[in-house]
Chains A and B, each alone.
Chain A
Amino acid sequence: MVVEAVHVPDSLAEATAQAARGGHVMAGGTAVMPLVNYGIVPGPELVSLRRTGLAGIEVGDGTARIGATTTFSEVADSPGLSVFRPAVATIASPVIRNMATVGGNLLTDPPGDFATCLLALDATCEVAGAGGSRDVPVAEVIDSGLRPGELLTAVVVRLPAGANWFYRKVTRRRMNSGAIMTIAATVETAGGLVTTARIALGGLAPRPVRAASAERALAGRPLVPDVVMEAGEAARADVTPADDPFASAWYRNRVLPVHLRRALLG
């Protein structure tokens, strides 16, 4: 199959209509164009979101709305999103970050490191379709994707306080590497005891997953090494790691508690 058309619509309405007619949607192109270059065309018609006006960042009231086609360089340069800067720095290279988008990171298979962050933060996805728009929890988008013809327009996320936000990507190289595992978490404590913990794990299952067992193991207990290691052992019930060129499934299981401890306690 060859590409028969690349549509570059100027509006969301036009893009939604083209997607509904079966056009394959792309934003930065970093996931779709490698396929095109290798003749593995995802569909005869591509729909680029580049001119749809979906890029942009609004921050206010402790919440951020990040447009779907916002690039990672734009996220990194946004003063209001500085809490995400260390996480964004772990995603690919600066040149890819000039192209790759927040929406693309969420909707590629597997979803990427920023999707893992959004999962830990219970983000909401704004989705547009022929019948109007709807809000969808990010967990649902990660698990089941969008309905045919729908487009992601933005993610809305409550920004974590720096002290409650934890991110750690375990890699073979210091920069521009796929993940052995990615841990993103928000943990709040009161009187030295954990009140809420939301932990998302990337690289340990076909898609980023919540570590519900680890969250339960932390609840009401002090955030100290023994407790966190115990939570990390519990998290093995939440993951289904695989062998890949970065690490074996066995290794990932083995080191999960250690990296959860390092993520939360340094």
Chain B
Amino acid sequence: MASQVIALVVNDEEREFIAKPGTSLLSGLRDSLGLTAAKRGCAQGGCGACTVLVDGKAVLSCLLAVETINGATVRTLEGVAADGQLDEVQSAFLDGFATQCGFCTPGMIMAAEALLDRNPDPGEDEVAEAISGNHCRCTGYRPIMNAIVDAARRRREARAAAGAPARVSEEVA
């Protein structure tokens, strides 16, 4: 079968690209759309560096064939600070020195975003579980876990100050 046009809503924009059969979402994002935040680490689902949100769920973009998610909504790290303003997770990572080489950071942040969407006040165990599929070879994880707990607190405070509900899902309901 020939290559196929794939249409996705990526970071709120409709995007199209041509993909050979079996192209991964990660390749589509990086090589066709120029969105290089998601990283190609192990290419087998073990490292989490390619984590993005597809239809609101954290998934490994290297394990999704693009044909199977044609039409889906994708959010990458580039879409988190779309207006040029770092969000709570990003600023907590920055302030807490939760990045060193930075290779795992995009995946860590997207895994953290997915956690905070479901659970605005996670305990340490829940944070550890949320990033248990994301490898970091620099930090020893401690600063990352602290940053995610800190980000949750910042987001709760920001939402409370704005009089908004703490969970995105409550807004929808």
Contacts and interface: CB of A to CB of B under 8 A. Distances in A.
Whether both chains belong to one complex is answered with: yes
A36 interface: yes
Contacts, number: 98
B22 A46 contact: yes
Contact of B63 (A3, A6, A30): A30
Interface in A55-110: 73, 89, 92-96, 98-99
A29 B21 CA distance: 14
B132 to A, nearest CB: 4
Nearest to B4: A6
Given A3-B21, A29-B68, A98-B57, A37 B132 contact: no
Contact of B58 (A5, A6, A95): A95
A175 interface: yes
B33 to A, nearest CB: 18
Interface in B11-66: 20-22, 24, 43-45, 48, 51, 57-60, 62-65
A92 B1 contact: no
Which of A89, A92, A176 has the largest count of B CB atoms less than 10 A from its CB?
A: A176
Contacts of B48: 93, 95
B65 A48 contact: yes
Contacts of A96: 45, 60, 133
Given A3-B21, A6-B22, A175 B129 contact: yes
A204 to B, nearest CB: 23
B89 to A, nearest CB: 16
Contacts of B70: 8
A153 to B, nearest CB: 18
Contacts of A174: 128
B78 interface: no
The interface residues of chain B, by DSSP majority, are classed as mixed
B133 A34 contact: no
A175 B111 CA distance: 15
A236 interface: no
Interface string B120-139: 00000000111011100000
Contacts of B21: 2-6, 46
* Interface range on chain A (Cβ under 8 Å from partner): 20 to 34
Contacts of B59: 95, 98-99
B68 A50 contact: yes
Interface centre among B1, B22, B44, B58 (most CB of A within 10 A): B22
Contacts of B22: 2-3, 6, 36, 41, 46
A38 interface: yes
A36 B26 CA distance: 13
Contacts of A73: 57
A169 B21 CA distance: 38
Contacts of B111: 94-95
29 contacts: A2-B20, A2-B22, A4-B1, A4-B21, A6-B1, A29-B63, A29-B64, A29-B65, A29-B68, A30-B63, A33-B24, A33-B45, A33-B62, A34-B44, A36-B24, A46-B21, A93-B129, A93-B133, A94-B115, A94-B129, A95-B59, A95-B111, A95-B114, A95-B133, A95-B134, A98-B59, A99-B60, A175-B128, A176-B132
